[in-house]
Amino acid sequence: MTIPTTTTTQPPFLRTPEEYKALFDSVDTFLLDCDGVIYHGPVVVPGVKAVLQMMRDAGKKVIFVTNNATKSRAMYKKTFDKLDIPVHESEIFGSAYASAVYMRDVLNFPADKRVYVLGEKGLEDELDAKGIQRTGGTDPEDRVFLPSMDFSVYQPDPSIGAVLCGFDSGINYKKLCKAYSYLRDDPNVHFLLTNQDKTFPTHGTTFVGSGSLSAPLVFALQGKREPTVIGKPNKPMMDAIIAEHHFDPARALMVGDNLATDIAFSQTCGMRSLLVMGGVTHKEEVYGENPSPVVPTFVIESLGDLAVLQKN
């Protein structure tokens, strides 16, 4: 099988060991989405553990790339440990960590400035690890609703140099107004989103995602400020990954179950992609009468299917 370098309107659906081997041998670095590719909630995808071991035995670089901004790398490591999947913390790249790396290594965020956070402890932990001062987030003072419409709390804070929005289960009007006031009053304050996922899948359904939670700020600032989005499918995520992991994108493969994030990410960054089914994407979106304009390089039923190579 010849491995193409560009996608077609009808991407090949890999089904045979010969096709699996040709693809496997052409890749030095595997970038793997987590939920939907490695596991579905608490259940590991059949065959995936064997495939991951096969990648390591062959000397392949493995990087787990996820848009989930609620967890730090340490938190994700615990998730993998519970699933009995050997993973080194340095191999995990969530949008929380990517945001911290982007702020430190790309923006060179000043040491005397603070970032106002709409997010969870995992995001805060990654900012702390990179020495970035912060406020907001899980601070109890910002996680309570205003007892009255007291707008005197929205005073300019000269220490704020950025507003970073991720998934925040404690989102409220007070937080939004604070974030908006910092962005409204100072054009030098960076406006950053960990990701723009409209929803997140869980337990067979979907709920509101990070992108939807940041939408009030994006709408309120429309025409005045545009956010820099870190996570997939945007290039800052890759900039952050490359800042720590050096590899040739031409010899890399993005494996994911989502056309809008994983596969679009690969196209943005000039990489090939492998779409796995059984996640959020249906075959009709790829091979139907009105397919998505986002086209993967290859399609496979499951990443675990590559385990057949151990028997050949």
Residue with tokens 């404690």: 170
Q: State yes or no: 84 annotated in a binding site.
A: no
33 is in an annotated binding site: yes
Which position among 35, 142, 168, 262 bears the catalytic label? 35
Single out the residue of 71, 65, 151, 160 nearest to residue 117, CA to CA.
160
Maximum distance among all alpha carbons in the chain?
Answer: 70
Which candidate, 265, 292, 290, 262, places its Cα nearest to that of 275?
A: 262
> Do the beta carbons of residue 119 and residue 69 sit within 8 Å?
yes
The H-or-E segment that residue 228 falls in is strand 228-229
How far from chain centre, in Å, is Cα 294?
A: 18
Does 257 show up as a binding residue in the annotation?
Answer: yes
The secondary structure element, H or E, covering residue 97 is helix 95-101
Catalytic residue among 28, 33, 186, 248: 33
261 residue type, one letter: T
The pairing of beta strand 205-208 with beta strand 199-202: antiparallel
Q: Of 267, 237, 254, give the one whose Cα is nearest residue 300.
A: 254
Q: How far apart are CA 130 and CA 76, in angstroms?
A: 18
35 is annotated as an active-site residue: yes
Q: Encoding tokens for residue 72?
A: 């730090």
Q: Is residue 35 a known part of a binding site?
A: yes
Exposed, middle or buried, 83 (CB in 10 Å: 0-12/13-18/19+)?
middle
- Are 5 and 272 spatial neighbours (Cβ–Cβ below 8 Å)? yes
Q: How far apart are CA 223 and CA 221, in angstroms?
A: 6
Which positions make up the binding site for substrate?
232
Which positions make up the binding site for Mg(2+)?
33, 35, 257
Q: Catalytic residue numbers? A: 33, 35
